[in-house]
């Protein structure tokens, strides 16, 4: 793509966009371009990609419906300029960063609930709907969504589909991708496809999966039909303490083998000890039976029941970080958002491995991090034994220096250590990220994870998007 030529064309592109979406929905002022050109990732944690923050979007457009999205995408095709779908802008990997400039396509005005169907237990909604608004719309029908991330108050339906996010109820309902029944998608040439709202097909491949977790590289999701769930008639919270992580892990895998499916499952080890947080939801008899058997499973694994309170409190505060983000960061200038993080040198890593490798992985990762004087302050299994997270901080001297509030040597060491443990996960048969996508932060490691699969993805990309306009520079495509 010839960026110099593109830059010359911007006033004309902006005028054409205004013809489609209305002048008031086309933003070219410096402040808007600045705030739309980053998500929740800060340059500090984009270790090998912080140059990506140098490029701002050229224009932001806020379409009203799929027809306008289609016209905008066609227009971008003709002009040969990038289009970057923007949901809530809360991604933590830099997925919406306009690394080659272009049009930020803010889906925020596509926020209607089209239909709620209590019989099929589905909700048909527009792409930009914020998850909290979906919860609120379902509540009077006695229904709820299956996806419940920390970021419920700030993340959008299509953004969570495009990153295939994981939330607090994923132990029972799976990640956001599992909630998708059907999608409406504007393809890179402007055509609109609709998959059918049935839970399973045997009439060709399931095209929904081309867009789930694809970070906007294959098209723009404009509408989704999602699975929804009856609000549970019974809920029981339980907390078990274990002497060590391995004992808790044994309890979790035994529960899985027996087919016990709590909605929440979180095994966390931190400075306070090892706690297993569980929530059982559903019909009364099922919840009681699952609780009874879980008590004996945890007892046999050496755990002791410390009552519901720690998990009740955990559950009550699960969205606090996102509410704080909404109050103090969302929509603010980039520098102001980044300043919140100054001097906070940590990283939160989310690997997925075959369950039988997780404990060995932990021991090997510990050794790598120890050698670099990086401390793990929290280990966690979230939802299932394969989903393993580590919160890491530089050990010892954490001087805050420089304009951005960090010591470059400490940062470089953290970056190298993070790469070592992420590639270890890949080398042990796992993946480097199960939750937040790749964005720009993990881009440099994706090629080694995908191997030949990357060629297949690239072939599909070239067929659907020969000019490469859809969120270029992401997913190695």
Residues that bind ligand FAD (CB under 6 A): 39-40, 84-92, 95-96, 107, 127, 149-151, 155-156, 158-160, 162-163, 165-167, 215-216, 220-221, 321-322, 325, 435-436, 471
How many whole angstroms separate alpha carbon 328 and alpha carbon 336? 9
Q: What minimum distance in Å lies between the beta carbon of 176 and ligand FAD?
A: 7
Which residue has the closest beta carbon to ligand FAD?
A: 159
Q: What minimum distance in Å lies between the beta carbon of 87 and ligand FAD?
A: 3
Task: Select from 131, 32, 17, 11 the least CA-distant residue to 64.
Answer: 17
For ligand FAD, the closer CB: 43 or 88: 88
For ligand FAD, the closer CB: 220 or 260: 220
Q: What minimum distance in Å lies between the beta carbon of 240 and ligand FAD?
A: 22
Q: What minimum distance in Å lies between the beta carbon of 39 and ligand FAD?
A: 5
Task: Select from 130, 30, 16 the least CA-distant residue to 68.
Answer: 16
> Please, which residues bridge with residue 351 across strands?
388
- Tokens 């470089």 correspond to 412
For ligand FAD, the closer CB: 168 or 237: 168
Give the pair of three-digit tokens for residue 84: 């970057």
Helix, strand, coil content of the chain in percent (nearest 5): 40, 20, 35
Q: What minimum distance in Å lies between the beta carbon of 184 and ligand FAD?
A: 10
For ligand FAD, the closer CB: 40 or 137: 40
Q: What minimum distance in Å lies between the beta carbon of 438 and ligand FAD?
A: 9
For ligand FAD, the closer CB: 166 or 298: 166
For ligand FAD, the closer CB: 40 or 210: 40
Distance of CA 133 to the CA centre of its chain: 18
Q: What minimum distance in Å lies between the beta carbon of 107 and ligand FAD?
A: 5
For ligand FAD, the closer CB: 337 or 411: 337
Paired sense of beta strands 220-230 and 192-194, if any? unpaired
How many whole angstroms separate alpha carbon 161 and alpha carbon 176? 6
Report yes or no: 94 and 46 within 8 Å, Cβ to Cβ: yes
**Beta strand residue intervals within 74-219, DSSP E:** 83-86, 103-106, 113-117, 122-126, 143-145, 180-186, 192-194
461-475 burial code (b ≥16 CB/10 A, e <16): beebbebbbbbbbbb
For ligand FAD, the closer CB: 30 or 327: 327
Report DSSP state, residue 140.
G
Q: What minimum distance in Å lies between the beta carbon of 20 and ligand FAD?
A: 17
- Tokens 């939802």 correspond to 383
Q: What minimum distance in Å lies between the beta carbon of 118 and ligand FAD?
A: 26
For ligand FAD, the closer CB: 303 or 437: 437
For ligand FAD, the closer CB: 164 or 253: 164
Paired sense of beta strands 83-86 and 103-106, if any? parallel
Sign of dihedral through CA atoms 339, 36, 435, 477?
A: negative
3-state SS assignment for residue 465: coil
For residue 118, what are the CA distances in angstroms to 44, 123, 144, 180, 194?
46, 8, 11, 16, 21
Q: What minimum distance in Å lies between the beta carbon of 257 and ligand FAD?
A: 26
73-84 burial code (b ≥16 CB/10 A, e <16): bbbbbebbbbbb
């Amino acid at each position: 793509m010839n960026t110099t030529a593109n830059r010359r064309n911007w006033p004309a592109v902006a005028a054409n966009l205004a013809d489609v979406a209305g002048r008031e929905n086309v933003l070219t002022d410096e402040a808007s371009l600045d705030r739309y050109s980053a998500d929740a990732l800060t340059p500090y944690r984009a270790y090998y990609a912080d140059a990506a923050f140098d490029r701002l979007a050229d224009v932001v457009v806020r379409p009203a419906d799929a027809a306008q999205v289609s016209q905008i995408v066609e227009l971008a095709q003709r002009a040969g300029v990038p289009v970057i779908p923007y949901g809530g802008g809360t991604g933590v990997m830099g997925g919406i960063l306009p690394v080659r400039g272009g049009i930020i396509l803010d889906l925020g005005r596509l926020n209607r609930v089209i239909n709620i169907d209590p019989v099929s237990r589905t909700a048909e909604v527009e792409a930009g709907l914020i998850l909290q608004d979906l919860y609120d719309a379902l509540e009077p029908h006695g229904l709820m969504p299956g996806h419940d991330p920390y970021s419920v108050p700030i993340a959008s339906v299509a953004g969570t589909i495009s990153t295939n996010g994981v939330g607090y109820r994923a132990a029972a309902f799976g990640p956001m991708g599992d909630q998708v029944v059907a999608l409406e998608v504007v393809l890179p040439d402007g055509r609109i496809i609709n998959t059918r709202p049935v839970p399973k097909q045997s009439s060709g491949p399931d095209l929904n999966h081309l867009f789930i977790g694809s970070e906007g590289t294959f098209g723009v999701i404009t509408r989704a039909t999602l699975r929804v769930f009856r609000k549970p008639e019974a809920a029981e919270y339980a907390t078990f303490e274990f002497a060590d992580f391995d004992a808790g892990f044994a309890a979790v895998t035994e529960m899985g083998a027996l087919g016990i499916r709590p909605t929440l499952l979180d095994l966390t080890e931190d400075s306070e000890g090892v706690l297993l947080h569980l929530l059982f939801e559903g019909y009364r008899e099922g919840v009681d039976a699952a609780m009874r058997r879980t008590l004996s499973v945890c007892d046999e694994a050496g755990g002791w029941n410390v009552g519901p309170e720690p998990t009740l409190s955990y559950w009550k505060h699960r969205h606090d970080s996102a509410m704080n983000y909404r109050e103090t960061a969302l929509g603010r200038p980039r520098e102001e958002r980044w300043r919140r993080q100054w001097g906070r040198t940590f990283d939160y890593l989310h690997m997925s491995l075959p369950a039988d490798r997780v404990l060995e992985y932990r021991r090997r990762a510990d050794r790598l991090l120890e050698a670099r004087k990086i401390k793990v302050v929290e280990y966690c299994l979230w939802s299932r034994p394969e989903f393993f997270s580590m919160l890491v901080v530089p050990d010892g001297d954490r001087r805050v220096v420089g304009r951005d509030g960090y010591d470059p040597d400490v940062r470089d060491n953290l970056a190298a250590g993070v790469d070592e443990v992420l590639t270890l996960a890949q080398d042990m048969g796992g993946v480097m990220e199960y939750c937040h996508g790749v964005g720009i932060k993990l881009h440099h490691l994706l090629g080694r994870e995908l191997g030949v699969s990357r060629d297949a993805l690239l072939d599909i990309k070239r067929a659907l998007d020969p000019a490469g306009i859809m969120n270029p520079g992401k997913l190695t495509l």
